[in-house]
A and B are shown apart, each in its own frame.
Chain A
């Protein structure tokens, strides 16, 4: 614990504000619990998520006369819904995190290069960004998935191809502004190399908006992955993913509402937790956005 000097750094102030935001903290806890469950899936899932048993077909949740071994009931193949939810969380979180991570790295590098180097580098990157912005997100992803074929790797690729544009635009704008700042001028005057100025001087100073946006984008990517899986363009069966679970449950809407409903609630809860937390981050660390 450092001695409180009475003068708070902006970062320290931000942390303080975040800690006081009870809604954001609870949201973070909810998201962390889901992430932990996903990581520990083999340990905590009560059943094998892919073990089918037609005798248990569409068995209802425990409070509707099911059994405790299958608390949320079973799907059309008699697989345990809770276990599939826990394993499905892995896909949502892994795709969300991986896409945002790769996209952030690519976007930051491209944005720094475009903003700092300018010239033809900037023109090429900005041109590419403009073109990619010309596609509605889901349509771009659907088009690519249709061509590349379904599968985990292709989902990540299809989403990254467009997602990097978001951090790239932010970083480019911030870099353009940072270029004129004293600390950058000073580093340049001292003879620092271009890569040093970009990565060591500018990057640390513009990282916080990128991180804040990355959290919102992760929520967005999770919905996109679920949408693609719902359409059958995502992770292929029998691997459990929340989107495909909702889709599979459509057939049984009349007599087994739980098959579709629970995975949908799971998506909603995770995405909303991330969104609320991200809102808290923005309120705490970006005073410009505060009212």
Chain B
């Protein structure tokens, strides 16, 4: 695809991003109750303090001015102070972000590693017991409540068997200097294999919990696109050339069958963002998701607002990326 086309589509995102910010803005603004009262909570405050806070937050201005201010601040990464932490929201979020990114990436890789082989085998050995197993397995996967499955994993593998830690990201003794913020990489950079092993053990169960529903969806997608591709003339032609079965399936069929899988994977990464909140809460994972859940209960609204906006923008960008990826992978559509 030409660069101009990409830019054109990106410009098309602007109204959506704007609409998303309007909704995030309204979420707080139209909430019943006075935000100042809510934020001050039970703390005793004088009318002067309230008025000062109101002015600080721009609440004394008309709603459209407040929205413009909100957007202008958001563009500068200015989301106000996190009440609980007494620090800028953006800073608090920035600290937690790497943990969430790492968890999401590992879950994504895990989901693909489960789904692609399973989907391919199910398609090639159609109607075999393996195919049926994958069908039942993926129905099971999409029906599984993640929060409960996580608890079950903890109960079995951490509490009873003691194979994995119950919660957290890494032990204190194993901490290394942050370079990328992703512990699996930082520990390797620091040459600490023991720390890497610890980080890996910590991330295994939450990543599995997060990956499973996605793997279920991707298995179905891979299976059905593979079945479709196996019926095409070019696969028949490849067989007629006398190529080995492994090459016909692993190269000729798979390279085409993976196009929908990769596209859906990019889309589904967005739903991992939501799943993060649950999984991070269950596993005490110090990421953004848990931070948001905590912020909701401590009525830390600026943080919630900033995080929801961040999630939504990421989601829109992921969808955009999936769109581009699909076009790029598909030589026939490529212009």
Determine whether A and B are in direct contact in the complex, meaning some CB atoms lie less than 8 angstroms apart: yes
Query: Judging by beta carbons under 8 Å apart, are A131 and B143 in contact?
Result: no
A137 in contact (CB, < 8 A): yes
Query: Judging by beta carbons under 8 Å apart, are B311 and A279 in contact?
Result: no
Per the bound structure, the CA–CA distance linking A247 and B278 in Å amounts to 11
In this complex, the interface size class of chain A, counting residues with CB under 8 Å from chain B, is: 35 or more
A156 in contact (CB, < 8 A): no
Query: Judging by beta carbons under 8 Å apart, are A131 and B16 in contact?
Result: yes
Query: Judging by beta carbons under 8 Å apart, are A131 and B277 in contact?
Result: no
CB contact under 8 A between A131 and B19, given known A227-B146, A246-B151, A260-B151: yes
Quick one: which of B20, B139, B278 contacts A272, CB cutoff 8 A?
A: B139
Which residues of A have CB within 8 Å of B227? Answer: 291
Which residues of A have CB within 8 Å of B189? Answer: none
- Chain A 92-115, CB within 8 Å of chain B: the 1/0 string? 000000000000000000000000
Which residues of B have CB within 8 Å of A138? Answer: 271, 274-275, 277-278
Q: B119 to chain A: closest CB distance in Å?
A: 14
Which residues of A have CB within 8 Å of B145? Answer: 223, 226-227, 230, 243, 246, 264, 267-268, 271
B15 in contact (CB, < 8 A): yes
CB contact under 8 A between A275 and B155, given known A135-B312, A136-B271: no
Quick one: which of B149, B159, B273, B312 contacts A254, CB cutoff 8 A?
A: B159
Quick one: which of B151, B278, B312 contacts A134, CB cutoff 8 A?
A: B312
In this complex, the interface size class of chain B, counting residues with CB under 8 Å from chain A, is: 35 or more
Q: B25 to chain A: closest CB distance in Å?
A: 11
A118 in contact (CB, < 8 A): no
Chain A contact surface mostly: helix
Q: B97 to chain A: closest CB distance in Å?
A: 15
Per the bound structure, the CA–CA distance linking A146 and B300 in Å amounts to 10
Which residues of B have CB within 8 Å of A66? Answer: none
Per the bound structure, the CA–CA distance linking A249 and B159 in Å amounts to 14
Q: B319 to chain A: closest CB distance in Å?
A: 8
B107 in contact (CB, < 8 A): no
Which residues of A have CB within 8 Å of B28? Answer: 147
B184 in contact (CB, < 8 A): no
Which residues of A have CB within 8 Å of B316? Answer: 134
Q: A93 to chain B: closest CB distance in Å?
A: 15
Per the bound structure, the CA–CA distance linking A138 and B276 in Å amounts to 10
Max chain A C-beta neighbours (<10 A), residue from B145, B155, B270, B315: B145
Query: Judging by beta carbons under 8 Å apart, are B151 and A146 in contact?
Result: no
Which residues of A have CB within 8 Å of B311? Answer: 135-136, 139
Query: Judging by beta carbons under 8 Å apart, are B304 and A146 in contact?
Result: yes
**B315's closest neighbor in chain A, by CB?**
A136
Which residues of B have CB within 8 Å of A147? Answer: 27-28, 31, 301, 304
A117 in contact (CB, < 8 A): no
Max chain A C-beta neighbours (<10 A), residue from B271, B282, B308, B319: B308
Query: Judging by beta carbons under 8 Å apart, are B151 and A268 in contact?
Result: no
Query: Judging by beta carbons under 8 Å apart, are B292 and A142 in contact?
Result: yes
Query: Judging by beta carbons under 8 Å apart, are B31 and A148 in contact?
Result: yes
Max chain B C-beta neighbours (<10 A), residue from A135, A145, A232, A261: A135
Q: Which of B11-33 contact A (CB under 8 A)?
A: 15-17, 19-20, 22-24, 27-28, 31-32
**A270's closest neighbor in chain B, by CB?**
B143
Query: Judging by beta carbons under 8 Å apart, are B274 and A253 in contact?
Result: no
Q: A30 to chain B: closest CB distance in Å?
A: 12
Per the bound structure, the CA–CA distance linking A132 and B292 in Å amounts to 20
Quick one: which of A135, A143, A223, A279 contacts B139, CB cutoff 8 A?
A: A279
Q: B152 to chain A: closest CB distance in Å?
A: 7
Which residues of B have CB within 8 Å of A132? Answer: 23
Which residues of A have CB within 8 Å of B23? Answer: 131-132, 135
Query: Judging by beta carbons under 8 Å apart, are B308 and A143 in contact?
Result: yes
Which residues of B have CB within 8 Å of A260? Answer: 148, 151-152, 155
A15 in contact (CB, < 8 A): no
Per the bound structure, the CA–CA distance linking A209 and B27 in Å amounts to 33
Per the bound structure, the CA–CA distance linking A136 and B28 in Å amounts to 18
- Chain B 125-154, CB within 8 Å of chain A: the 1/0 string? 000000000000001101111111101101
Query: Judging by beta carbons under 8 Å apart, are A268 and B144 in contact?
Result: yes
Q: A21 to chain B: closest CB distance in Å?
A: 13
B172 in contact (CB, < 8 A): no
Q: Which of B146-187 contact A (CB under 8 A)?
A: 146-149, 151-152, 154-155, 159
Query: Judging by beta carbons under 8 Å apart, are B277 and A139 in contact?
Result: yes
Which residues of B have CB within 8 Å of A219? Answer: 143
Per the bound structure, the CA–CA distance linking A226 and B51 in Å amounts to 40
Which residues of A have CB within 8 Å of B147? Answer: 226-227, 230, 243, 246-247
Per the bound structure, the CA–CA distance linking A132 and B16 in Å amounts to 9
Q: List 28 A-B contacts (CB under 8 A).
A: A130-B16, A134-B20, A134-B312, A134-B319, A135-B20, A135-B23, A137-B271, A139-B273, A139-B308, A140-B308, A142-B292, A143-B24, A143-B304, A145-B296, A147-B27, A147-B28, A147-B301, A148-B31, A231-B293, A253-B159, A254-B159, A260-B151, A264-B145, A268-B144, A271-B145, A272-B143, A275-B142, A279-B139
